[in-house]
């Protein structure tokens, strides 16, 4: 019997709750009404609750785990694929590593035309090296033109080969391959060889030169001769031409090089920069007495002039090398009569002059000293002393005395170039008949343009001489006297060297050690006390006898 559904739960069915079974949607079914009309009854929703939050979170977590797992598997697969590709590429492109001792060359492999198939390196190395050496020894590049003809060998270019590198490549390379070595050259060695060819070409360049011509007095006159260009190879283009031939394996070939003018490596300007007059000083001396000169002076004046000129000749043409010290006494030598020096007046005892061998040479050392001071940056004064009283031929403070085995004048060349000393006498323009000039010039590297060094003296003090010192002597008659030393004042002098640029003083750079003190002295003389003898009368002349007729 059909029972109308009342909408109440069926207790006879399973007791599972709605949470234990899936939610079902029951479709509506038709029902008959009392009047036999169809009516539709909606079945109730047996599970009226939504899924819980825990179930939703669990489903999301499981989904995330699946995604992460799939991503990790994909990444691992991608890494494995990349590694496999890299290994494959490396195995295809990189050389095969072969043991150089036991490994053998593959079939069909040649090196420079020599078949090395199936052989080890030690079996073929000697032959390959011999062939390579022979080939390099036979390199001969001939340079030929109308102006010159020369050959450049492999040894001239210090050629090298990459044979060892090629052997390793051939050992690890594939079969049926031909390998060739490459020759390299040393460009510097090639350029040196080209310079040698230019020096021995048909017309090498001639450098500028200088010779020193001397007048009869010894005055130096430099004679500069300009250089002339030569004809030779253009170094840069010839190096490129030879390299091109070697790279093309043309080891025995004739080339036509570029010919160019070769300028001299040294010009007159180059010489003058290192050899020009850089200092000159002149003093004046007597060579002949006057009507007022005493007989003693008439004898010693020419002797002194001889000594001055002899000392000048001794130091002339002397070269002071860098770092070396010039010694006046060493260069001039001992002043003795045996050495050719003459007797002339020289200072003795600090206050008088007496005849001595070589008297007058101090004038030459003084003249040299003043020339040296003009090139102050190039020199260092090692030893210099002033006289015991001022000289007549130079300002106070600018003299340099010397004495054999006792007092010397020395200076050191502190520059990086040679210093050339020349000394010579010349005519004095004002007193031609009885005076001459002694000149000292120094040649060397020119000072910077416009630079000069000048001496300056300052008189610090002057004191009058003390009372005369007069002694009596019976060796002189009354009224006679012998002046031993004239009265001289005491002088104290400072000397400076000033630096000028283009005529303008820019600094005071040096004070000569001192000051120079000339002590002075009183008049010293002897006066006679011996009585003057009475004159002896002359006898009367005896008349001559008369001459017989």
Q: pLDDT per position in the chain (549 positions), as tens?
A: 444 444 444 444 444 444 444 444 434 444 444 444 444 444 455 454 455 677 788 888 888 888 888 888 888 888 888 887 775 655 555 555 667 777 899 999 999 999 999 999 999 999 999 999 999 999 999 998 887 889 999 999 999 999 999 998 998 888 999 999 999 999 999 999 988 888 787 688 899 999 999 988 889 999 999 999 988 888 899 999 999 999 888 889 999 998 888 889 899 999 998 899 999 999 999 999 887 888 888 889 999 999 999 999 999 999 999 999 999 999 999 999 999 999 999 998 888 889 999 999 999 999 999 999 999 999 999 999 999 999 999 999 999 999 998 999 999 999 999 999 999 999 999 999 999 999 999 999 999 999 999 999 999 999 999 999 999 999 999 989 999 999 999 999 999 999 999 999 999 988 888 899 999 999 999 999 999 888 777 777 776 666 665
Q: Which residues fall within 8 angstroms of residue 361, CB to CB, at 6 or more apart?
A: 307, 308, 311, 332, 335, 402
| Neighbour count for residue 543 (Cβ, 10 Å) | 6
Question: Residue 177: which residues within 8 A CB-CB, separation 6 or more?
Answer: 108, 109, 110, 170
Phi and psi dihedrals of 461, rounded to 5? Answer: -160, 155
Q: Are 420 and 319 in contact (CB under 8 A)?
A: yes
Residue 9, both tokens: 């739960």
Burial 306-321 (b: 16+ CB within 10 A, else e): bbbbbbbebbbeeebe
> CA geometry: angle at 448 spanning 446 and 449, to 5°?
100
Catalogue all structural domains in the chain, each as residue range(s) with its CATH number. Answer: 1-9+17-93 (no CATH), 110-211+221-259 (3.10.20), 275-447 (no CATH), 449-532 (2.20.230)
């Amino acid at each position: 019997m059909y029972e109308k559904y009342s909408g109440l739960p069926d207790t006879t069915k399973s007791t599972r709750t709605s949470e234990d079974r899936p939610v079902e949607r029951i479709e509506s079914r038709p029902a008959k009404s009392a009047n036999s009309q169809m009516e539709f009854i909606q079945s109730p929703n047996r599970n009226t609750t939504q899924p819980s939050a825990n179930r939703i979170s669990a489903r999301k977590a499981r989904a995330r785990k699946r995604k992460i797992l799939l991503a990790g598997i994909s990444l691992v697969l991608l890494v494995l694929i990349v590694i496999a590709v890299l290994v494959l590429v490396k195995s295809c492109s990189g050389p095969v590593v072969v043991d150089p001792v036991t490994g053998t060359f593959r079939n069909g492999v040649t090196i420079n035309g020599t078949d090395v198939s199936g052989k080890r390196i030690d079996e073929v190395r000697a032959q390959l090296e011999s062939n390579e050496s022979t080939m390099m020894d036979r390199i001969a590049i001939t340079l030929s033109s109308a102006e010159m003809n020369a050959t450049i060998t492999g040894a001239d270019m210090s050629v090298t080969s990459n044979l060892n590198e090629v052997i390793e490549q051939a050992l690890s390379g594939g079969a049926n391959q031909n390998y060739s070595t490459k020759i390299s050259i040393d460009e510097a060695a090639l350029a040196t060889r080209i310079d040698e060819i230019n020096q021995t070409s048909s017309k090498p360049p001639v450098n500028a030169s200088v010779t020193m011509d001397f007048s009869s007095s010894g005055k130096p006159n430099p004679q500069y001769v300009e250089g002339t260009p030569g004809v030779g190879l253009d170094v840069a283009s010839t190096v490129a031409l030879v390299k091109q031939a070697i790279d093309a394996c043309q080891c025995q070939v004739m080339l036509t090089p570029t010919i160019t003018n070769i300028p001299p490596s040294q010009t007159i300007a180059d010489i003058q920069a290192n050899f020009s007059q850089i200092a000159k000083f002149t003093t004046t001396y007597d060579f002949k007495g006057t009507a007022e000169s005493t007989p003693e002076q008439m004898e010693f004046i020419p002797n002194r002039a001889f000594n001055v000129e002899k000392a000048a000749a001794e130091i002339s043409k002397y070269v002071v090398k860098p770092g070396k010290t010039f010694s006046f006494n060493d260069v001039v030598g001992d002043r003795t009569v045996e050495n050719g020096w003459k007797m002339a007046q020289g200072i003795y005892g600090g206050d008088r002059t007496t005849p001595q061998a070589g008297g007058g040479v101090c004038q030459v050392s003084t003249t040299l000293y003043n020339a040296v001071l003009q090139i102050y940056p190039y020199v260092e004064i090692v030893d210099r002393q002033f006289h015991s009283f001022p000289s007549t031929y130079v300002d106070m403070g600018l003299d340099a005395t010397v004495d054999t085995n006792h007092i010397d004048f020395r200076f050191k060349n502190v520059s990086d170039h040679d210093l050339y000393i020349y000394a010579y006498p010349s005519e004095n323009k004002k007193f031609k008949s009885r005076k001459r000039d002694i000149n000292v010039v120094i040649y060397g590297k020119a000072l910077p343009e416009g630079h000069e060094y000048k001496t300056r003296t300052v008189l610090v003090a002057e004191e009058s001489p003390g009372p005369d010192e007069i002694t009596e002597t019976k060796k002189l008659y009354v009224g006679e006297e012998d002046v031993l030393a004239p009265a001289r004042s005491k002088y104290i002098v400072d000397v400076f060297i000033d630096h000028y640029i283009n005529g303008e003083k820019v600094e005071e750079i040096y004070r000569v050690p001192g000051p120079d003190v000339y002590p002075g002295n009183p008049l010293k003389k002897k006066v006679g006390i011996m009585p003057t003898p009475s004159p002896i009368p002359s006898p009367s002349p005896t008349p001559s006898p008369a001459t017989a007729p």
